Structure 1
């Protein structure tokens, strides 16, 4: 704990903080937070070990959540299937072949009740990787918390809710940018009053990096998007010292160890200056809090056990960079969703770093390294050039509409692929140190019968629920969407009447159109 004496294996005392001989005057927990957002960082408490999971039906995912909680995971992180992400029920024709495949299928509040069966929402924090339909999934979570009798002022967690990176890099958007931004700021406003401990957005660089960007581009485009969200909330009349405390970030961690550490340090410093320039005076509103996931696109299907080393190295870089929570990928994820064994090794990787490596004993252990400090400065400079260009275009929405971010990411991805194919860049087991391998047999498969099961449940749900109540809730939502009211209360009422995700998304499609 803070103030406790810590010694290494030789009995030498490890101090909480080192400032000499580099002569650094900046301290952790102080503006601009390059060295960390807390004074004592992991000496106080470790980062949250939050393993991302979700597949098949709500019942199956619920079993995996109970397993992860029993193994020592500290927070849940929900992956949703593609139909859920883009607002289609499991029985929609476009959902065929995708139900339950890359995440859990959620069609209504009934599924959320099953997903968290036996789990008290007041006792955990939950992260939900959902964007275009974030308002609906958040409403379902709030509805369940209410049914469990939880105090909404105390429940905490995060929804990704970052639509700008969907247009730039990932693709699971539904509505045009303007109504999408309205939904996001409606969530900011609603949660600041009703669910004040909820993180209303996780501004994501992760998918920008997965799409092929460089570390500098990931940082620049993420912070530029963050700046756009800040400005949108300010235009709505929200107080930056209140809502900015509920913004969090989500970064990727790739293989270049020192580059990643420097990226995280630069991110905190840059965000502190961005928020201050936009009027934030409260320290909590200036601090960049972030979740990290190890790099999915760095994992190889060839010699998959090598990925355990890659994930370990990336996790260590995230910790040395000062992450607030961390997900470690399974070594088999280039082949399939992670098996239970791979998920356990991924979690154990974090636990070994936390409790055996000694890196948590002092704050920002690499501060003062000539290389780390220079690299932090250089990454900041490179990212600022991009942000200035985006500002000159009129912000992220304009940059995305002009195809600027997409083109920059595509060029970087093309360059990387060329470097692999030419051998300029070594990828162990892929273009060097290759060996003949048998086809992987122990991969995780999700059966297509899930769609039939979800469809049967939808038929039952539509028979049992109060049809007039559903119709009225959806009509009221449509009227509100045509006006300027905050949409969250209307979505919550619809969810509580057991309107389906698809029905709610379609109601908004009719008003907003599709992009």
Structure 2
């Protein structure tokens, strides 16, 4: 479809009428009531026009740029009927103290209507240390659940039927180990691997770029990821092998454009790595999922999600020659922006989360976590978690937002902004490919090691903070409309005591005392042997997990074989 002569005439007519309106109507209005003294732009520093018309999308081609929901290029929706068939999966990130306490929180959430579980692990697990390690002192159970061995994972899902619920696990460097623990729990419950559903984050590239919970250098880390993809493709076909995460890139201070570009570039790097292993792209790409942030600029976020689907579809089909439409279809989870929550006037966060969650829904997310209003203060209380879940349920059941597929499709503003987000994303792709001599995978490694991503994110974060302090960006209750009176006190905050650490260490020691020690050591030696070669590691990790080897013990073997990564500071 091309722009017809009639279309061109219409656009020229609109341009002339817009010029008349600007000079005759707008000018007089501004003389009476001046516009606000600010630069009108979004959080990606994209300047916003005062009005959008067909002129702003004059080369718009409905079938090429939008198409229909559930069909290439998927701009409008990943599924043909979107939420008219079923709502998105409603998740609340949960992990506090030990496995027993988190299991209780899981059951509370399920009882209140949550439809998927999402596990937050404490820092020692994220970095591959046992709770008894000196490196874990003061951190056990503080920012997530403490998981040391299969015994903890068994307790975490005690009484929860893994055949009936999807589980997402936010874990990266030790992702293969935690996945194996989950598979082992499923086996003990009588649920075969091919019936388990869920997601392991397993996105190590963004760790080097933003979140920093890496352990090994990029190359062996990528090996573990491709091992996981290869194993799950053959044995756990319903499992999402990576959740390619822009969320943490955004939380580190990036713009929405950087979040979009770096996330999708990382995803394409994983595709290249899988193809390099010899895997058929159509065998593994359908199980790659994505994870985006939902920040405060409502329309920018919606445009970001729509652009993401279109960009992914085009590159998978055109660059990586995927044939299966499921490979082209980007599916994603969204979490509202933790970094946007304020400790000042914390109940304001309920409104922020509501707007962010609505943007995610209007952008077509498949899964959604809404933050609790008290998370800027402490781990979320049960009351705050329930309000956050009710926010999603009200959007789903009462707002009407889920009744029409892509209700903002065709908006001059939304379509123009979607196009602009795509353009800016492709500009970043070009820079990454240039660093890798045409390869996004190689460019990602180069960019990590020369701090390209880190500088881009740091500069964006600095710019945003400068604008907050200059009141060019407003945070209600922080730098404007500050309430000086007595505010409503938030609910009692959760505090994790050192008793949790003592109990966790005691449990770990008991596990080691009761396991078959010879079998455990033999399993660890086998992992060391295989890690020194090229064979897929996952079957051997699974055997070690079943022998009740700890996360820390397995990671220590990998540290000896792979080494550890040290980032060169850019400051």
TM-score tier by shorter-chain length is over 0.9
Gaps spanning 5+ residues in structure 2: where? 1-59, 437-442, 566-571
The 8 Å contact of residues 92 and 370 in structure 2, kept in 1 or not, is answered as yes
Q: Tell me by how many angstroms 1:32 deviates.
A: 0.6
1:401 pairs with 446, 449, 454, which one? 449
Moved more, 58-67 or 393-402: 393-402
Q: Tell me by how many angstroms 1:198 deviates.
A: 0.4
1:477 pairs with 522, 527, 534, which one? 527
- For 1:268 and 1:447, locate their aligned partners in 2 and report how far apart those are by CA, in whole Å: 44
Q: Give the equivalent residue in structure 2 for 1:454.
A: 504
Q: Map of 1:255-404 to 2, 5 A cutoff?
A: 255-276=296-317, 277-394=319-436, 395-404=443-452
- For 1:92 and 1:108, locate their aligned partners in 2 and report how far apart those are by CA, in whole Å: 14
1:504 is aligned to 2:554: yes
Q: Tell me by how many angstroms 1:24 deviates.
A: 3.5
Q: Map of 1:407-422 to 2, 5 A cutoff?
A: 407-422=455-470
2:96 pairs with 23, 40, 55, which one? 55
Q: Tell me by how many angstroms 1:151 deviates.
A: 2.0
The 8 Å contact of residues 195 and 238 in structure 2, kept in 1 or not, is answered as yes
- For 2:428 and 2:494, locate their aligned partners in 1 and report how far apart those are by CA, in whole Å: 40
Which structure has the bigger radius of gyration?
2
Structure 1 residues 76 and 441: CA distance shift in structure 2, 3 A:
closer
- For 1:23 and 1:31, locate their aligned partners in 2 and report how far apart those are by CA, in whole Å: 13
Q: Give the equivalent residue in structure 2 for 1:127.
A: 168
1:168 is aligned to 2:218: no
1:429 is aligned to 2:429: no
Moved more, 457-466 or 403-412: 457-466
Q: Give the equivalent residue in structure 1 for 2:271.
A: 230
Q: Tell me by how many angstroms 1:440 deviates.
A: 5.7
Q: Give the equivalent residue in structure 2 for 1:9.
A: none
Q: Tell me by how many angstroms 1:387 deviates.
A: 1.1
The 8 Å contact of residues 381 and 491 in structure 2, kept in 1 or not, is answered as no
C-alpha RMSD of the superposition: 1.1
1:186 is aligned to 2:219: no
1:492 is aligned to 2:550: no
Gaps spanning 5+ residues in structure 1: where? 1-21
- For 1:190 and 1:24, locate their aligned partners in 2 and report how far apart those are by CA, in whole Å: 40
Q: Tell me by how many angstroms 1:441 deviates.
A: 6.6
Q: Give the equivalent residue in structure 2 for 1:17.
A: none
The 8 Å contact of residues 471 and 479 in structure 2, kept in 1 or not, is answered as yes
Q: Map of 1:109-148 to 2, 5 A cutoff?
A: 109-148=150-189
Structure 1 residues 322 and 472: CA distance shift in structure 2, 3 A:
same
Cα deviations across residues 48-73 of structure 1 (Å, max 9, x unaligned)?
00111011000000000000000000
Q: Tell me by how many angstroms 1:23 deviates.
A: 8.6
- For 1:166 and 1:41, locate their aligned partners in 2 and report how far apart those are by CA, in whole Å: 32
The 8 Å contact of residues 180 and 538 in structure 2, kept in 1 or not, is answered as yes
What TM-score do you get using the length of structure 1 for normalisation?
A: 0.95
1:463 is aligned to 2:513: yes
Cα deviations across residues 93-151 of structure 1 (Å, max 9, x unaligned)?
00001110110000000000000000011111000000000000000000111111112
The 8 Å contact of residues 409 and 415 in structure 2, kept in 1 or not, is answered as yes
- For 2:445 and 2:306, locate their aligned partners in 1 and report how far apart those are by CA, in whole Å: 26
Q: Give the equivalent residue in structure 2 for 1:445.
A: 495
What TM-score do you get using the length of structure 2 for normalisation?
A: 0.86
Q: Tell me by how many angstroms 1:458 deviates.
A: 1.4
- For 1:278 and 1:35, locate their aligned partners in 2 and report how far apart those are by CA, in whole Å: 22
Cα deviations across residues 280-338 of structure 1 (Å, max 9, x unaligned)?
11000111000000000000000000000000000000000000000000000110111
Moved more, 81-90 or 428-437: 428-437
Q: Give the equivalent residue in structure 1 for 2:260.
A: 219
- For 1:446 and 1:460, locate their aligned partners in 2 and report how far apart those are by CA, in whole Å: 22
2:136 pairs with 95, 101, 108, which one? 95
- For 1:472 and 1:414, locate their aligned partners in 2 and report how far apart those are by CA, in whole Å: 50
- For 1:291 and 1:324, locate their aligned partners in 2 and report how far apart those are by CA, in whole Å: 6
- For 2:222 and 2:62, locate their aligned partners in 1 and report how far apart those are by CA, in whole Å: 41
Cα deviations across residues 245-284 of structure 1 (Å, max 9, x unaligned)?
1100000000100000000000000000111121111000
Moved more, 490-499 or 394-403: 394-403
Higher RCO (C-alpha 8 Å, min separation 6): 1
Q: Give the equivalent residue in structure 2 for 1:80.
A: 121
SS of equivalent residue, structure 2 residue 193 = coil
- For 1:302 and 1:444, locate their aligned partners in 2 and report how far apart those are by CA, in whole Å: 18
Structure 1 residues 23 and 31: CA distance shift in structure 2, 3 A:
closer
Matched residue pairs, number? 494
